[in-house]
């Protein structure tokens, strides 16, 4: 990462880590600020960052090298695949040192420069994220802002934007409004270009929900394309009330459903345009489609045992695994990141688990075991350091004959 403070470097680094980890790459972030806080302390004055302060300059070099060496060790000896060196790297000399050490160890280097001159964006970043950092814990907000602005000024005095002769780089400008690409090579780097083209800082809710209760839910069967039960239809109307309350502007929300009937029927009472998307269809159970887990255990005991051993990688015969679902959901994630309006996704158990895992950074092996109950909306609000979550059960309006609790999530 490259850029002045308060330009979104750490935010972008964390989003890249989450995205690549979700896709299956072992990804780690090495944040030099955390190394500095651990070795020097959190409460250091802005003068520590003054380039004319020899003691501060030397201390910052020491922690930068410590983070860099730990990163190289992690990649070489601990199975790391993608490492993100999160620091200002604000001078050509520092970037030359980083690139030389990585290339000496045999690693490809890509610089991602965050460039933003919008004072409103910078001010918002200072107040929303920097004031909550350990550097300014128990500090008067106005004093903290003044100190941090002075810290930025120290970096501005020596900052050198990336040059064409410094190798592969991406330059993100205007808080995600522009992207410049130079000498980028390789699949992962190309994926990052596409990802960063769609990343933005706009806060908005993302609502995830399973379809209403279906006929297969009541019979304990998996897969298929069944209709909703009466209670499933009641949930669809409860969902419509929920959406009207949260987003009265009928054109102010984007709605995606799977292409299967139970999801499309759940969206029908919303009274708003929805977009069916086959990528959101439930996991393909292959030869087990339409069976119960009891039937699978009895008729296909080896498959049942294999699924129990490793639910994430297990692939139904002629069907899919959770890993397959993540691969086909990649364009959905890009679309959800791109969209600046509130979004409602009506899908299925395995699919909602996979989407939720992305937004909350859940390890892949835990994904198949996440509890995603029927008739519940998962309200996610992405922010700089993660994602706020509220679960909203909409069960009170269900009929007395609801059977959804009889069948645990698959």
Pairwise CA distance, residues 324 & 281, whole Å: 12
- Residue range 16-30: average pLDDT? 96
**128, pLDDT greater than 90:** no
Distances in Å between the Cα of 207 and the Cα atoms of 279, 303, 363, 396 are 17, 34, 21, 19
Give the pLDDT confidence score for residue 402 in this predicted structure. 40
262 conformational bin, left if phi > 0, alpha if psi -120 to 50, beta if neither:
alpha
Local confidence band at 398 (pLDDT 50, 70, 90 cut-offs):
very low
Catalytically annotated residue among 86, 113, 213, 337: 86
Burial (CB count <10 Å: 0-12, 13-18, 19+), residue 363 = exposed
Mean pLDDT of 27-55: 93
Residue 47 DSSP symbol: G
The pLDDT of residue 144 is above 50? yes
Of the listed 113, 135, 154, 211, which one is catalytic?
211
| pLDDT tens-place string over residues 43-54 | 899 999 999 999
| pLDDT value at residue 377 | 97
Whether 86 is catalytic is: yes
Please, which pLDDT band fits residue 336 given cuts at 50, 70 and 90? very high
What domains lie within the chain, and their CATH numbers? 9-198 (3.40.50.300), 206-406 (3.40.50.1240)
Q: What is the pLDDT of residue 384?
A: 67
- At 234-261, the pLDDT tens digits run 999 999 999 999 999 888 999 999 999 9
CA 47 to the chain's CA centroid: 35
- Integer Cα distance of 328 and 325 in angstroms: 5
Tell me which of 102, 113, 116, 135 is the catalytic residue.
116
Give pLDDT, residue 202.
78
Provide the 3-class DSSP secondary structure of residue 260: coil
Q: What is the mean pLDDT of the chain?
A: 92
Which pLDDT band, with edges at 50, 70 and 90, does 42 fall under?
A: confident
Instruction: Assess whether pLDDT exceeds 90 at residue 298.
Output: yes
Give the mean model confidence (pLDDT) for residues 307-332: 97
What is the C-alpha radius of gyration for the chain, rounded to an integer number of angstroms? 24
Where does 112-226 have alpha helices with state H? 119-128, 141-158, 187-198, 215-219
pLDDT given for residue 85 in this prediction? 98
How distant is the alpha carbon of residue 273 from its chain centre? 26
Residue 117: per-residue pLDDT: 84
In this prediction, residues 302-328 reach a mean pLDDT of 97
Q: What is the pLDDT of residue 125?
A: 82
- Alpha carbon distance 117, 176 (integer Å): 12
Give the Cα separation of 298 and 133 in Å (integer). Answer: 55
Let me know: does 344 contact 378? Beta carbons within 8 Å.
no
To the question of pTM greater than 0.85 for the whole model, the response is yes
**Predicted confidence (pLDDT) per residue in 78-96, tens digit:** 999 999 999 999 999 999 9
In the predicted model, what is the mean pLDDT of residues 189-206?
A: 89
Q: Kindly tell me the sign of the dihedral angle through the C-alpha atoms of 116, 118, 122, 128.
A: negative
For residue 318, the model assigns a pLDDT of: 96
Tens of pLDDT, residue by residue over 341-393, are 999 999 999 999 999 999 999 999 999 999 999 999 999 998 766 789 999 99
pLDDT on residue 405: 38
Report whether pLDDT(134) > 70.
yes
Under the banding of pLDDT at 50, 70 and 90, the label for residue 135 is confident
Indicate whether 399 pLDDT > 50: no
155-193 confidence digits (pLDDT tens)? 999 999 999 999 999 999 876 578 999 999 999 999 999
* Mean pLDDT, residues 225-240 taken together: 96
Beta strand spans in 298-372 (E): 343-347
* Residue 282: active-site member: yes
Q: Once rounded to an integer, what is the mean pLDDT over residues 304-308?
A: 97
Please state the rounded mean pLDDT for residues 19-29: 96
In this structure, what token pair is assigned to residue 298?
């009895």
Percent of all residues in the chain with a pLDDT value above 90, rounded to a whole number: 81
């Amino acid at each position: 990462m490259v850029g002045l403070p308060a330009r979104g470097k750490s935010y972008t680094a964390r989003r890249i880590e989450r995205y690549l980890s979700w896709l299956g790459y072992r990804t780690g972030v090495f944040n030099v600020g955390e190394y500095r806080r651990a070795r020097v302390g959190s409460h250091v004055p802005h003068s520590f960052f003054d380039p004319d302060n020899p003691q501060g300059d030397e201390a910052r070099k020491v922690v930068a090298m410590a983070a860099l060496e730990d990163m190289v060790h992690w990649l070489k000896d601990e199975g790391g695949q993608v490492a993100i060196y999160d620091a200002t790297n604000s001078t050509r000399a520092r970037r030359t040192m980083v690139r030389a050490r990585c290339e000496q160890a045999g690693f490809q280097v890509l610089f991602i420069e965050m460039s933003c001159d919008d004072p409103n964006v910078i001010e918002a970043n200072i107040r929303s994220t920097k004031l909550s950092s350990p550097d300014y814990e128990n500090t008067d907000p106005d004093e903290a802002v003044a100190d941090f602005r002075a810290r930025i000024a120290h970096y501005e005095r020596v900052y050198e934007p990336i040059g064409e002769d410094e190798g592969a780089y991406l330059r993100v400008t205007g808080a995600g409004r522009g992207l410049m690409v130079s000498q980028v090579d390789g699949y992962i780097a190309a994926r990052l270009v596409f990802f960063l083209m769609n990343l933005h800082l706009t806060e908005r809710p993302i609502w995830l929900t399973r379809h209403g209760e279906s006929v297969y839910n009541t019979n304990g069967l998996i897969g298929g394309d069944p209709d909703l039960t009466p209670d499933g239809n009641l949930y669809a109307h409860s969902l419509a009330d929920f959406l009207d309350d949260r987003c009265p502007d009928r054109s102010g929300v984007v709605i995606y459903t799977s292409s299967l009937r139970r999801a499309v029927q759940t969206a029908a009472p919303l009274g708003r345009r929805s977009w069916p998307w086959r990528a959101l269809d439930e996991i393909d159970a292959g030869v087990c489609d339409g069976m119960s887990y009891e039937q699978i255990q009895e008729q296909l005991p080896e498959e049942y045992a294999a699924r129990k051993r490793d639910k994430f990688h297990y692939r139904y015969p002629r069907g899919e695994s959770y890993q397959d679902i993540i691969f086909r959901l990649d364009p959905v994630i890009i679309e959800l990141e791109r969209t600046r309006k509130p979004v409602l996704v009506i899908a299925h158990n395995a699919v909602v688990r996979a989407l939720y895992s992305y937004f909350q950074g859940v390890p892949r092996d835990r994904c198949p075991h996440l509890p995603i109950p029927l008739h519940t909306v998962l309200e996610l609000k992405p922010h700089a350091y993660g994602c706020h979550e509220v679960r909203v059960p909409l069960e009170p309006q269900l009929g007395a004959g609801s059977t959804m609790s009889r069948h645990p999530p698959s």
